[in-house]
Each structure stands twice: as C-alpha cells, then as structure tokens.
Amino acid sequence: MNHYIKVLSELLTVSKHNNSFLSDFLPMAIESPALAEALIAYASGHLSSLDSSYTTVSLEARSNALQALSRVVCLPADQPTFTEPILSASLVLLTSEVCLGSHSSWYHHLIGAKHLITSAQHQSGRGPDALKATSEGRWVLRNFAYHDIVGSVTLGTKPLLNSGYLEGITDELDTYLGVASAILAFIAQTTSLSWETADCEAFRRSQQYMAIEDALKSWKCPEDTPPTLEAVASAYRGAALIHLYRKMRQHLQNSDPATQQTITDVDLSWTTIEDSINAEVSTALESVARVPADDVGEASLLFPLFIAGGEVTDCDQMNVIRSKLQCSFQKRRFRNISRALEVLEELWALRLRTTEEDVSPDWEHILRTSDGPLLLT
C-alpha cells in the first residue's frame, strides 16, 4: 500500500492537488476489503514490473483481490455507499490488468462495472443517477466513462453505456483528464455514429458529423485552467477531432457513389477531410509539447499521442511521438504504453513501404489481426 500511495497514485493523476486515487479511494478502502485488496493487487503488480522478485506476491495479491470482489459483487446494491467501493475495485482491477499487459481481461472488468452502475439504486434515482449525489460517485462515473469511451475507439464498438450520464459531472476537475472530461461525450457521440446508404440518411448523418465538429471546436477550458491542464485538454480535443475525421473518411471510403455525392455536397470531400486531419495532428502535437516531460499532466497523453501517431507520415513527427511514449513507458512501466508504441512502429514501417497504388495501412487493421484489443488509458 505504501507503493500505491507514494508512487503508483502519482503516476496516474494529472493533478497533484486533486488526486482521487488518494482522496477518494483510500477512505473507501478502509471500509471496503474488496477495494483495499484491489489497490494492493495493483501496487504489487506494478512492483513486479519493476522487480521480478515481486512476481509471486503480485499473483497472490491478484487472486486475493478477485476473491474479495467475487464475495461482494452479488450482494444487493441498495445504496451508493455500497456500490461506489465495489465499482472502484472493479475499475482498479481493470487498470491493473491493462498496465500489466493483459489484452482482454480488462474488458471483463469493464462489463462488470457497467452492470454495477446500471443496477445501482438510491433515493435520488437509479443507475448512474444513483451515484451522482456524492463526489466519490461522480469520480467513479467519470473513471468508468474514461475507460469505456476511450476503449470503444480502439475496439471499434459503441460504448457500453450511453454517455448522457456525463451531463452535470464534467465541470469538476478530474483526476484522469483535468478539465477535459466533457470531451469524452463528443468522442462517444462520434464512435456511435452510423451511416446509411439512403441519400436522406447520409445527409442527416453528415449534419450530425458537422454538429460534433462545431461543438468540439467551440469548446473552451474554464478561464482559470492551469496552462498544463489546458494543453492536455487541447491535445484531447485534437484527438477527438482526428477520430471524428477518421470516422468520416471511413464512411466515405465505404459508401456508394450516390452517398459519396451527398456527403461531398456538404463540403466533406476527401481532400477536406485529409487537410483537417493533418491540421489537427499538428495541433495535438503542439499541445503535447506544451506539457513538460516531468509534469504529472503527461500521465494522460497516451490517447492523443496514439491517435495523432496513427495519421503522421513525417519522420520528425514520428520521432516526437516515439520519444514521448518511450519516456512515458520508462517512467511508468505500463504495458499498454509499450504496446501502443509497437503498433505505431508497425504502422509507420508499413506506411514508409507503401506506394500510392497500395491501400494505406491503418492501426485498426493491425489491432484486428493482433492478439487482443488495446486500451489507451
């Protein structure tokens, strides 16, 4: 637990003054053996990545945590004070699996967390509304949203829960994203977009696309936001816009001629989309550069670095992203960081060998043919 408090929690937060891994999780862990065991398992697993002599201890701690969670997860969730620590334990085990290199186990915890949220009950409401009454409940909802929505991007699926529950809880400084939590809703809307072949449907969807783009471009940080957190938020907005343009590009590639014409009629041509992607890649990398390498704010930059890295063709930009991810991995030893870089390295190598006649390689194809999904949290 000492390692969790002094080391691991500091590697996860973007704000030393608002670290819910300490201020929220530790008090709940005093009352919840399941959460306490999950935190110990997470810390032990991280220690084992730094020192192999902790491997046996970490395996025992993980087993204890899973047993503790299984003993309480089926009990009635009739109050937030009961649901919050169990949900927190599930999310802690999720991040532990990701950081230790599990490519699929984390998703089982995410599904479990989703069921805990939807089954929550309180006098203030059911489901997510039952958790909004306390700061701890709002934190674990944002925590879940972060993994669910960011995970949906690389999974290529809709988020497990509609992002509407984020309304009213993103104006607080978040431990993972600072002031950028509201951008998660835009990412979720983009991932959930679908396109039909009928002209009227294509036109309506293109209007939805443009509405998300306008909302992202007009979104602003609170006036008193620290420069580092403003840079983090800007990087996430850039990544969200890249995700949006990629979605539009994919639909343009797969559409019939009539639908392509309908989309082009609202100024969503191939050239326009490519220009927009390139512009946002530059903006995102400029924002990342404003986050000092030794600042806690760079804890959450994996998603924007990967999304921007998936579009770069310039070797200098590749080197910037490579260096940032290498430094982040050396500092944290989280396996999803090293795997993200491996995927990008494979993509860049393919891209440098690709001619104009070839189909442009994409990280989505690499992930589909690899040994499991990638979570960029």
Q: What is the 3-state secondary structure (H, E, C) of the chain?
A: CHHHHHHHHHHHCCCCCCCHHHHCHHHHHHHCHHHHHHHHHHHHHHHHHHCHHHHHHHHHHHHHHHHHHHHHCCCCCCCHHHHHHHHHHHHHHHHHHHHCCCCCHHHHHHHHHHHHHHHCEECCEEHHHHHCCCHHHHHHHHHHHHHHHHHHHHHCCCCCCCHHHHCCCCCCCECCCECCHHHHHHHHHHHHCCCCCCHHHHHHHHHHHHHHHHHHHHCCCCCCCCHHHHHHHHHHHHHHHHHHHHHHHHHHHHCCHHHHHHHHHCCCCHHHHHHHHHHHHHHHHHHHHCCCCCCHHHHHCHHHHHHHHCCCCCHHHHHHHHHHHHHHHHHHCCHHHHHHHHHHHHHHHHHHHCCCCCCCCCHHHHHHCCCCCCCCC
Question: Which domain-ending residue is among 131, 164, 197?
Answer: 164
- Same domain flag for 189 and 320: yes
According to the model, what pLDDT value does residue 257 have? Answer: 60
- Same domain flag for 140 and 207: no
Q: Is residue 133 part of a domain?
A: yes
- Same domain flag for 207 and 311: yes
Give the structural domain span for 234. Answer: 177-377
- Same domain flag for 242 and 344: yes
Q: Which among 297, 14, 28 is positioned nearest to 176, based on CA atoms?
A: 14
- Same domain flag for 18 and 116: yes
Q: Is residue 169 part of a domain?
A: no
According to the model, what pLDDT value does residue 197 have? Answer: 46
According to the model, what pLDDT value does residue 268 have? Answer: 64
- Same domain flag for 90 and 69: yes
Q: Is residue 207 part of a domain?
A: yes
Q: Is residue 53 part of a domain?
A: yes
- Same domain flag for 218 and 121: no
Q: Is residue 50 part of a domain?
A: yes
- Same domain flag for 141 and 249: no
Tokens of 71: 């003993």
- Same domain flag for 35 and 117: yes
Query: In total, how many domains does the chain have?
Result: 2
Predicted TM-score of the model (pTM) = 0.93
Low-confidence ranges of the chain (pLDDT < 70): 76-81, 123, 194-203, 255-268
- Same domain flag for 134 and 270: no
Question: Which domain-ending residue is among 137, 164, 191?
Answer: 164
- Same domain flag for 120 and 242: no
- Same domain flag for 183 and 331: yes
Question: Which domain-ending residue is among 164, 185, 212?
Answer: 164
Q: Is residue 171 part of a domain?
A: no
Q: Is residue 172 part of a domain?
A: no
Q: Which among 5, 1, 7 is positioned nearest to 296, based on CA atoms?
A: 7
According to the model, what pLDDT value does residue 371 have? Answer: 77
